[in-house]
Amino acid sequence: MPALYNLARTRVLPNNVAIIGVDQANGTADGWATHLHKMLESFVGNANSEFNIDAIDEGLWQGLAGRMSYLQGDITKPEIYQSLSTALSNVCKQYNTRGNVIFYLAVQDRFFGDVVDQIGQAGLADQQEDEDGVPHRWRRVVIEKPFGHDLASAQALNVRILRTLQEDQVFRIDHFLGKETVQNIMAFRFANGLFEPIWNRDRIDHIQITAAETVGVEGRGKFYEATGALRDMVPNHVFSLLAMVAMEPPATFDAAGIRNRKAEVFAAMPPLRPQAAVRGQYGGGDVLGKHTVPYRNEPDVSRDSNIETYVALRVEIDNWRWAGVPFYLRTGKHMAERLTEIAIRFRPAPLSPFATTSVEALRPNWLIIRIQPDEGIALQFDIKRPGPSVQLATVQMAFSYADWFPREPNIGYETLLHDVMVGDATLFNRADMVEAAWRVVQPVLDSWAQDGSGLAPYASGTAGPDAADRLLEQDGGRAWRDIPQQRFVHSNGKNHQ
């Protein structure tokens, strides 16, 4: 709803839109709208929220609320879909929606197949096409993660869904890909002749991708006990970032061209060896000055749980561009800082011409793409420190979105929802991409299922377990970038974390 509100505020949301909520709980359209309004109010003045607004435009909200209706029923039963069919016919006449429908499946993943089956059996997935095969009454389905829990379940879910829907009707959504900096990776790489010639194994030593969270499981113990950090974050969020960095230039910047290039990245990734994976679980500690309890003391979590809340991986891509360049991935909860970034380390200078230093003393060149917080890009390099002697200092050139563009409330879903409306699948994964991602991590999942040992503890409020450090140390003494990070220095003279 925050995303729909933003689309309406920026006048991107079409006027002929109606919103139908479906839930098992008793309710009314007015009650649903009131509940959502209260949720939006909680964001007002909340600087810690990506949807930081000063006030709700009540006139705009009333315009949205007036187009909302509510249906109560069991989504596994055909009766609710008969009611939904009638409701869709009514709003089509009232708001001239032309029969176009987006089904947004904000349901538990175990219901994905059931709901799509019911949509098909009720005839709600049927499209009408013109003579050229272009739908002029389309039906699209948005599916939240997780899309499967392993390779076999993802394959089975794809088979089941594609019995009812065409691939171009399915939008497997990942909100990470709606963030501006993620989308900007392609523009940064392919619109600038400066970077692409050095974007390869000849000049890049390794790449680190970090998705660190300060929150714990936040009352979702049952979900997390069945999922864990790897399933929750890696095949979707983290691999999506990896694909944007590693893909070849597409021949065309349309959905097919870009998704084909991403699929090639996953196809070139050999299945992970269990030795290339570290799993950890947070204990007690202090996060942002607040004391936290161990994961095993969280509600709905087993007291002897072996579920990981942290995972670090060493991934390879076997193609000409990336052969021999390791990609180190890590993600975890209750860490020292909320941080999502891609850090590219370049190979060092082959020799040092300076008498007062050496190659070993030179600090590495890093290109840092910050996804959140404080979206931006920074380049780290060495210069001569002012003074009569030759001494080197490491500096940064940093670009921040906040310095160049007005900060608009944006939660990442706005672009994705708009893309669904216009039928642009560029930022959504295809069936083959989902299955390829699961194929890469499946050996690790199998190994962990057979052997419950090897769970490395780490204190809340830290950068993760020591075992993750050793994963890099054994590769020629490499090391993770620090968490928390050094500050970006902005052109306005302020330091931002």
> Which pLDDT belongs to residue 360?
47
Supply the CATH classification number for the domain 2-174. Answer: 3.40.50.720
Tokens, residue 119 = 């949509």
> Which pLDDT belongs to residue 303?
94
Tokens, residue 423 = 């039928």
Residues 40, 32: Cα–Cα separation, whole Å? 13
> Which pLDDT belongs to residue 496?
41
> Which pLDDT belongs to residue 493?
44
Q: What phi and psi, each to the nearest 5 degrees, are found at residue 460?
A: -60, 145
> Containing H/E element for 122?
none
- How much of the chain exceeds pLDDT 70, in percent? 92
Residues 6, 11: Cα–Cα separation, whole Å? 8
pLDDT in tens, 270-305: 999 999 999 999 999 999 989 999 999 999 999 999
* Of 9, 427, 422, residue with least CA distance to 180: 427
b or e along 12-48 (b: 16 or more beta carbons within 10 Å of the residue's beta carbon)? Answer: ebeeebbbbbbbeeeeebeebbeebbeeeeebeeeee
Locate tokens 């019995």: which residue?
Answer: 163
Residues 75, 95: Cα–Cα separation, whole Å? 25
Per DSSP, the three-state class of 366 is strand
Tokens, residue 255 = 């959905």
Q: What phi and psi, each to the nearest 5 degrees, are found at residue 45?
A: 70, 10
- How much of the chain exceeds pLDDT 90, in percent? 63
pLDDT in tens, 96-122: 999 999 999 988 889 999 999 999 999
Torsion of CA 458, 479, 340, 221, to 10 degrees: -20
Amino acid at 220: R
> Which pLDDT belongs to residue 135?
63
77-85 LR contacts (CB < 8 Å, sep 24+)? 77/118, 78/118, 78/121, 78/122, 80/22, 80/118, 81/118, 81/119, 81/121, 81/122, 81/124, 82/122, 84/20, 84/22, 84/122, 84/124, 85/122, 85/123, 85/124
Amino acid at 371: I
- Quick check: do 2-174 and 177-407+430-496 share a fold? no
Tokens, residue 55 = 């006030």
Locate tokens 């095993």: which residue?
Answer: 296
Instruction: Let me know: does 398 contact 490? Beta carbons within 8 Å.
Output: yes
pLDDT at 349 over 60: yes
> CB under 8 Å to 463, separation ≥6 — which residues?
212, 335, 336, 480, 482, 483
What value, to the nearest 5°, has the Cα angle with vertex 258 and ends 182 and 106? 60
Residues 402, 140: Cα–Cα separation, whole Å? 35
Kindly list the distances between the CA atom of residue 419 and the CA atoms of 180, 422, 424, in Å, as whole numbers in the listed order. 14, 5, 5
Domain edges within the chain: 2-174, 177-407+430-496
> Containing H/E element for 80?
helix 78-95
Can you name the CATH fold of 177-407+430-496? Dihydrodipicolinate Reductase; domain 2 (3.30.360)
> CB under 8 Å to 110, separation ≥6 — which residues?
none
pLDDT at 36 over 80: yes
Q: Is the peptide bond before 388 cis (omega within 30 degrees of 0)?
A: no
> Which pLDDT belongs to residue 136?
74
- pLDDT band at 359, cuts 50/70/90? very low
Q: Which residue has the higher pLDDT, 58 or 385?
A: 58
Judging by DSSP bridges, how do beta strands 392-400 and 455-460 pair with one another? Answer: unpaired
pLDDT in tens, 177-187: 887 778 888 88
Per DSSP, the three-state class of 396 is strand
Instruction: Let me know: does 293 contact 469? Beta carbons within 8 Å.
Output: no
Q: Which residues are catalytic?
A: 237
pLDDT at 153 over 70: yes
Residues 344, 240: Cα–Cα separation, whole Å? 16
- pLDDT band at 497, cuts 50/70/90? very low
Tokens, residue 268 = 């070139």
What value, to the nearest 5°, has the Cα angle with vertex 18 and ends 13 and 19? 100
> Which pLDDT belongs to residue 41?
86
Look up the pTM and report it.
Answer: 0.90
Q: What phi and psi, each to the nearest 5 degrees, are found at residue 265?
A: -60, -50
